[in-house]
Amino acid sequence: MSEPLYEIVPNLSEGRDASAVDAFVAAIEGEGVRVIDRTSDATHHRSVITAVGGGEDVVRAGVALAGEALARIDLRAHRGVHPRIGALDVLPFVPLRGATMAACVRLAHAAGERIWEQHRIPSYYYGAARLAPERAPLAAIRKHAGSWAPDVGDALHEGAGAIAIGAREILIAFNVELATADLTVALAIAKLLRERAGGLRTLRTLGLRLTADRVQVSVNVTDYRATPLYRVTELVRKLAADRGVAIVRSELIGLAPREAIEVTARYYAGLRPGVAYPT
């Protein structure tokens, strides 16, 4: 039997210094974990790294990464459009081959304890790793960090803040850019789509300003089978058109399962589901 395989998808509050992102990747790979994707965005001032490995390895990688982020990121001087609570902002553990959610919860808790012991950076647990029901949504952690006591450690670190450490299933991060300078359009669309505001059950959304003349609907799809990417795009297109605004483009942040890409590609190609076509 092969060892269970886990994924970590750390989000870091650095999207402009390529040498810093190189150092983050090196910290992860130095613990025997394979980095399979890295995405950085200067406007968001954020990088998302996807890495896979064994259970103990991904915990060590998370701890090492927290130390590298502490050395290279100072939130007191950070400016970016994406909300954040920490230098290493989010650290989710995801079950892949032969892995369970219960094991991911144990890994998340172990990472939080070791990061506090070694780097004195506190953590909040979210998702399946939560210690209280109200802390399950990542959005709740963002909203209350600082007023809620951390689950591990005490006050937020002066320069590194805190880390949201979670256990969750595969998530797709997907953004749709709009041809308008009006942030209220993106905020309104995000609210209509957002699960906790009565929208689609699988969506977590934000409205963000990108540039002086562009805004964005930022979407996390928590169940790509229930809500395919083409449906997200077309819903945003319809809601934007109702306000006289067009879509400029969409983008994938990090990776997505092949199935999710194929379903959306078939939709836009006009191919029927379940029918085999010649290649």
CB 42 within 8 A of CB 16: yes
> What is the CATH class of 172-269?
alpha beta
pLDDT in tens, 164-187: 999 999 999 999 999 999 999 999
pLDDT tens, position by position, 90-141: 999 999 999 999 999 999 999 999 999 999 999 999 999 999 999 999 999 9
| Of the candidates 39, 35, 85, the residue with the CA atom closest to the CA atom of residue 58 | 35
Whether the per-residue pLDDT at 276 is higher than 80: the answer is no
Q: How large is the average pLDDT for residues 141-148?
A: 94
Mean pLDDT taken over the chain: 94
The dihedral over CA atoms of 169, 161, 40, 69, expressed in degrees to the nearest 10, equals -100
6-167 is a CATH 3.40.50.720 domain:
no
State the sign of the Cα–Cα–Cα–Cα dihedral 191, 194, 195, 201. Answer: positive
Compute the distance between CA of residue 161 and CA of residue 82 in angstroms, rounded to an integer.
15
Question: What pTM did the predictor assign?
Answer: 0.90
Confidence bin at 272 (pLDDT 50/70/90): low
> In angstroms, rounded to a whole number, what is the distance separating the alpha carbons of residues 29 and 123?
23
**Strands 163-167, 88-95: parallel, antiparallel or unpaired by DSSP?**
parallel
Instruction: Report, as residue numbers or ranges, the catalytic residues.
Output: 82
Question: Do the domains spanning 6-167 and 172-269 agree at the CATH topology level?
Answer: no
Residue 271 has a pLDDT of 66
Q: What is the pLDDT of residue 94?
A: 98
pLDDT value of residue 199: 84
Q: Coil, helix or strand for 185?
A: helix
> Where do the domains of the chain lie?
6-167, 172-269
| pLDDT surpasses 60 at 277 | no
Q: Rounded to whole angstroms, how far apart are CA atoms 51 and 8?
A: 5
Tokens of 17: 């210094």
Give just the sign of the alpha carbon dihedral 128, 110, 124, 255.
negative
